[in-house]
């Protein structure tokens, strides 16, 4: 089989290896589609922390079940993968939070991922739902990231929700928050992504380059400001700025990640009795929630997949500056393996 290896920052190589064989507790999958995300792009650029090379990237998986010991799974089943692997014994796992386990190994980050024609994964990481196709399944993991943030925040219908950053994760949050009844404001500097945010359900869009962002948010919330804020930008400046957009009693959820300290006024935050929380990865229940939304048509895969590339052309796409991988919403690698 062929796999794509990030040998070092800025360099991919295709290599031929034997098809891996599953051991006890594992299953073999034939990969059909892989979504490209910011983690993959940062790893290729050499900007991903705690990352070692060489590494096979890829953790947004749509695949066909081949063989293994997953109960209830049969050859030919269309599946996706919860790509956060843990032994389930640390304190976070015991608290029902394996998404932030101390021993977590993420597919395509800490261990080799699914940019390959076949991949072996833990059998208990598989998920399927009758009626979903490979386009649906490749979107489940990134949409589950947003769903987990929403469930952490406990969105209240009709409340003012501000989503900072209209990239793939932010747009997923916008779509899910809108479906959950939030009055959604999208904040970004990219006019094309703001247009996408509107198409996905945002009630209001604001260009972050405007000089009066705070005043616009106040106007759109009747002076209340946002009672729920999500950062999906991963920008330190955007994260710090958004503290000033919080309503009294607001919750602020950090979904995006950056490397430095965040800075805010303690008195301003304190008098609002603000809640600040992080949201990492997703739980099995978040995957199930997203799969149901896709199954019912509440969320459409076609709205998110804006570029497709054959597996044989994927390495060249990463190196082509004329085709930014985070342009559009989601770029998907497709495998032509019968």
Taking the C-alpha atoms of residue 158 and residue 78, their distance in angstroms, rounded to an integer, is 36
Strands 2-8 and 11-16: what pairing? antiparallel
Per-residue pLDDT tens over the stretch 185-226: 999 999 999 999 999 999 999 999 999 999 999 999 999 999
The pLDDT, as a whole number, for residue 267 is 97
Question: Cα angle vertex 306, ends 303, 308, to 5°?
Answer: 130
pLDDT for the residue numbered 327: 63
Place of tokens 């920052």: 9
Sequence-distant (6+) residues with CB within 8 A of 267 are: none
Looking at the chain, the domain(s) classified CATH 3.40.50.720 span 146-278
Q: Which residue has the tokens 């892989």?
A: 34
Listing DSSP states for 234-302 in one string gives: --HHHHHHHGGGEEEEEEEEE-S--SS-----HHHHHHTT-EEEE--S--HHHHHHHHHHHHHTSS-GG
Least Cα distance to 80 among 41, 37, 135 occurs for 135
pLDDT at site 38:
86
CATH 3.90.180.10 domain residues, the chain: 2-128+304-334
CB–CB of 293/139 below 8 Å? no
- Cβ(230)–Cβ(162) below 8 Å: yes
**Under a CB-based contact definition with an 8 Å cutoff, are residues 40 and 28 in contact?**
no
Cβ burial of 166 (10 Å; 0-12, 13-18, 19+) is buried
> What is the distance between the alpha carbons of residues 167 and 187, in angstroms, rounded to a whole number?
10
pLDDT at 326: 57
Question: What's the length of the chain?
Answer: 338
Q: Contact at 8 Å (CB) between 279 and 232?
A: no
Domain 146-278 has CATH 3.40.50.720: yes
| Rounded Cα gap, residues 11 and 145, in angstroms | 28
Q: What is the dihedral of CA 231, 234, 235, 240, to 10 degrees?
A: 40
Q: What is the CATH number of domain 2-128+304-334?
A: 3.90.180.10
Residues 142-179: tens digit of each pLDDT: 999 999 999 999 999 999 999 999 999 999 999 999 99
Q: What is the pLDDT of residue 259?
A: 84
| Cβ proximity of 163 and 186 under 8 Å | yes
Q: Find out whether 260 and 236 touch, Cβ atoms under 8 Å.
A: yes
Mean pLDDT of the chain: 95
Positions of the chain with pLDDT under 70: 321-327, 338
């Amino acid at each position: 089989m062929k796999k794509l290896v990030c040998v070092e920052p800025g360099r991919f190589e295709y290599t031929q290896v034997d098809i891996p064989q599953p051991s006890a507790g594992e299953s073999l999958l034939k990969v059909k589609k892989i979504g490209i995300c910011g983690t993959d792009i940062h790893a290729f650029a050499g900007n991903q922390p705690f990352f070692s090379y060489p590494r096979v990237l890829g953790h947004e998986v749509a695949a066909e079940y081949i063989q293994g010991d997953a109960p209830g799974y049969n050859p030919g089943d269309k599946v996706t993968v919860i790509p956060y692997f843990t032994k389930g014994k640390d304190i976070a796992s015991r608290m029902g939070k394996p998404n932030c386990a101390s021993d977590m190994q993420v597919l395509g980050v800490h261990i080799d991922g699914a940019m390959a024609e076949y991949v072996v994964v833990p059998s208990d990481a598989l998920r399927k739902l009758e009626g979903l196709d490979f386009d649906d399944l490749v979107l489940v993991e990134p949409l589950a990231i947003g769903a987990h943030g929403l469930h952490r925040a406990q969105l209240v219908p009709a409340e003012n929700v501000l989503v900072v950053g209209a990239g793939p994760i932010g747009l997923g949050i916008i779509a899910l928050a809108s479906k959950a009844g939030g009055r959604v404001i999208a904040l970004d500097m990219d006019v094309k992504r703001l247009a996408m945010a509107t198409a996905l359900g945002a009630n209001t869009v604001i260009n972050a380059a405007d000089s009066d962002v705070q005043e616009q948010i106040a106007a759109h919330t009747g002076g209340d400001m946002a009672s729920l804020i999500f950062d999906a930008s991963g920008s330190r400046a955007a994260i710090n700025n958004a503290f000033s957009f919080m309503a009294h009693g607001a919750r602020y959820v950090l979904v995006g990640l950056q490397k430095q300290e965040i800075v805010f006024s303690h008195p301003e935050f304190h008098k609002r009795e603000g809640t600040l929380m992080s949201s990492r990865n997703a739980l099995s229940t978040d995957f199930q929630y997203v799969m149901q939304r896709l199954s019912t048509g509440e969320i459409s895969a076609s709205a998110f997949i804006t570029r497709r590339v054959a597996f044989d052309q994927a390495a060249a796409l990463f190196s082509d500056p004329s085709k930014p991988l985070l342009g559009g919403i989601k770029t998907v690698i497709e495998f032509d393996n019968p």
